[in-house]
C-alpha cells in the first residue's frame, strides 16, 4: 500500500474513469431522488443533491460531481462549483436538519471555480457560510473524500462528525500544481509538491485531519465499484448508528472539538 507514491495517488484520484459521487450514490442507496437548484440563481450541476434511503433510514446526500465525457464535464463545470452549488447544498442540509435526516457528503473537486461570475456572486461568502452552518447542524454528518479534495471548494461540504477517505483519494489546501506555482513559482514541480504536501489518506490520518482510511478493492476503486460502494455503505450504516446514540448537544460539542483541535 505504501509503495504507491503521493503523485501516483493524485493521478489515480484524477482518472476520468474513477467512480464519481453518482456511481456510489446509485449503488449505495436503495432509492435516490435528485433534487435541484439553490432557489436564488440556478441549478449548479457540479454538486448533486437529493434524498435517499438505506432500509428504514433516510438520508440527505450531497456530492461533488465530475463528468465522464467532455460534454458531461462542461455541463458539470469539471466538478468545480460556483457559489450557487454551495448554496444549493446548504439548502438541502438545512432541510436535512428540519427532517432529522443524517447527511452524507462526497468530496471530489479540483476546487471552487475561479471565475468572474463566481467572484461577483460571492464564492468566499458561500464557502464561509457552509463552514459556519455545517458546524452547527443538529444531525450527524458523514463525509467521504472519494477522489480529489482540493481547497476550500472541498472543505465547503466537508465539515462533519466523521471524515473518511478512500485509500487513493487526496485532500489538500490546493492542487499540487497550484502549490508548486505559489511556493516555488514553478507549476511543473507538481510531483515534488505532491510528495511534500501530505495529501494522501494515510498522511491525513496521521495528521488527525481524517478519521479513517477506506481500503480500495484490488487495483483501485474503479476495478470494482460495487465492492467499493459496499465498503462505503457499511461505514454509513455503522457511523449513523454510532452518531445517533449521541444527543444533539454532545454531537455538536464533539464536532466543534474535532476542528477546534486541528
The contact set with another protein (CB under 8 A) reads 111-116, 118-125, 127-129, 131-133, 135-136, 151-152, 155-156, 158-159, 171-174, 178-179, 182-183, 196-199, 204, 207, 209, 255-256, 259-260, 262
Residue among 129 and 222 whose Cβ is closer to another protein = 129
- Name the minimum Å distance from CB 196 to another protein: 6
- What's the min distance (Å) between Cβ of 234 and another protein? 26
Closest approach of Cβ 225 to another protein, in Å? 27
Q: Which is nearer to another protein, 195 or 224 (CB)?
A: 195
Residue 145 φ then ψ, to 5°: -95, 110
Minimum distance between the CB of residue 117 and another protein, rounded to whole angstroms?
9
The nearest distance, CB 257 to another protein, in angstroms, is 10
Nearer to another protein, 23 or 64 (CB): 64
Taking the least distance from each CB to another protein, the nearer of 172 and 229 is 172
Q: 17 vs 249, which CB is nearer to another protein?
A: 249
C-alpha cell read off for 170: 487526496
Smallest distance from the beta carbon of 215 to another protein, in angstroms? 21
Which residue lies nearer to another protein by CB, 63 or 83? 83
Amino acid at each position: 500500500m505504501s509503495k504507491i507514491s503521493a503523485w501516483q495517488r493524485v493521478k489515480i484520484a484524477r482518472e476520468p474513469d474513477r467512480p464519481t459521487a453518482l456511481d456510489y450514490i446509485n449503488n449505495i442507496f436503495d432509492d435516490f431522488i435528485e433534487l435541484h437548484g439553490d432557489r436564488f440563481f440556478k441549478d449548479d450541476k457540479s454538486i448533486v443533491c437529493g434524498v435517499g434511503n438505506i432500509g428504514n433510514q433516510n438520508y440527505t446526500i450531497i456530492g461533488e460531481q465530475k463528468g465522464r465525457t467532455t460534454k458531461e464535464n462542461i455541463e458539470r463545470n469539471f466538478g468545480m462549483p460556483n457559489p450557487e452549488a454551495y448554496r444549493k447544498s446548504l439548502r438541502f442540509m438545512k432541510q436535512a436538519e428540519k427532517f432529522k435526516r443524517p447527511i452524507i457528503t462526497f468530496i471530489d473537486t479540483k476546487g471552487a471555480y475561479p471565475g468572474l461570475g463566481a467572484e461577483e456572486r460571492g464564492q468566499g461568502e458561500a464557502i464561509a457560510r457552509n463552514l459556519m452552518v455545517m458546524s452547527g447542524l443538529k444531525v450527524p454528518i458523514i463525509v467521504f473524500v472519494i477522489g480529489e479534495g482540493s481547497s476550500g471548494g472541498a472543505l465547503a461540504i466537508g465539515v462533519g462528525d466523521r471524515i473518511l477517505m478512500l485509500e487513493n483519494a487526496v485532500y489538500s489546501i490546493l492542487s499540487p500544481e497550484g502549490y508548486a506555482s505559489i511556493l516555488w513559482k514553478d507549476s511543473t514541480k507538481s510531483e515534488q509538491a505532491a510528495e511534500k504536501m501530505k495529501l494522501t489518506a494515510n498522511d491525513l490520518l496521521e495528521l488527525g485531519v481524517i478519521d479513517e482510511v477506506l481500503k480500495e478493492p484490488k487495483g483501485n476503486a474503479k476495478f470494482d465499484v460495487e465492492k467499493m460502494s459496499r465498503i462505503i455503505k457499511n461505514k454509513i450504516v455503522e457511523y449513523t448508528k454510532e452518531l445517533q446514540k449521541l444527543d444533539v448537544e454532545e454531537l455538536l460539542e464533539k464536532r466543534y472539538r474535532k476542528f477546534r483541535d486541528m
